[in-house]
Amino acid sequence: MIAQNTTLGIWLMTATAFVFAMQDGISQHLAGEYNVFMIIMIRYWFFASFAIVVAARMAGGFRHAVATRQLGLQIFRGVLLALEVCVMVTGFVLLGLIESHAVFAIYPLLIAALSGPVLGEHVGWRRWVAIGIGFLGVLIILQPGLGVFQPAALVPLLAALMFALYGLLTRRAARQDSAAVSFFWTGTTGAVTMTLLGVWFWEPMVPGDWGWMMLLCATSALSHFLLIRAYEVAEASAVQPFAYLQLPFAAALGLIVFDEVLRPNVALGAAIVASAGLFALWRAQHKAPK
């Protein structure tokens, strides 16, 4: 049994949010120069290798990690996450880090909204109000009907919906399979999916960008390791709010490195979305059985 340390868990989650933001910045840089499918394919090759090594070293060995009781669900999860990553990175290229993350922050509210039909959970009226307020924040970010709305702004919203569904399906898979089993199938099915898509878009990469590619792969593995450790040493309810730090980290990266502009409506909308999401998270914890 691993000793619980909430302070350490918070620091680990903060580090996870920072690494995720840096990972997104590297993805934006590479996807601006090369095909998105190829970039994500190489990243998933590393992810799958990491998942296989972890599976081989776990108790019970490789056979235990493969033994899922719901193969169809696990494959669908892996394919869905791989496609979601492609959609989100495309959003980075089209909109930049700031606006993409501002819209993507709606995903915890989408999880709350979809938890009823997908998992059969009860969502009270207070969380429905938070969901509605969160979508108001997204509308403030997107500014539909004001003459400046671009269809590309819907790309991170689609990514948020896909990621929310992935999160719900992961919770559903956890009812029968261990986290190690889900991790293995996420990596391997994602790698197969991206290989089938990305191999058709292979293009030469200059040596300097191969360095960025290797750094992207390393940050992908590091972020998953930090996230797993955070959930090992502290309760999810204690550390989950700190995942929202990815939004300011990504915004700072966009401003400093990519010369993006933080428009007032984006800042206001993101603050509303994040606040609504944190309230929905608090309500879910408050209503959870002790």
Residue-wise pLDDT for 154-179, tens only, equals 899 899 999 889 888 887 887 888 77
Instruction: Assess contact for 68 and 226: CB atoms under 8 A.
Output: no
pLDDT of 101 reads: 87
pLDDT of 72 reads: 92
pLDDT of 147 reads: 43
Distance CA 141, CA 138 (A): 5
Predicted structure pTM score = 0.85
Instruction: Assess contact for 251 and 285: CB atoms under 8 A.
Output: no
pLDDT of 229 reads: 76
105 DSSP assignment: T
The residue type at 242: F
Domain ranges of the chain: 6-287
Give average pLDDT by consecutive 10-residue segment, the chain, 290 residues: 70 87 92 93 92 78 78 92 94 89 83 74 71 77 58 86 87 80 88 95 92 91 78 69 81 87 81 78 59
Paired tokens of 143:
């500014």
Q: State the Cα torsion 155-161-163-166 to the nearest 10°.
A: -140
Distance CA 101, CA 155 (A): 11
pLDDT of 290 reads: 44
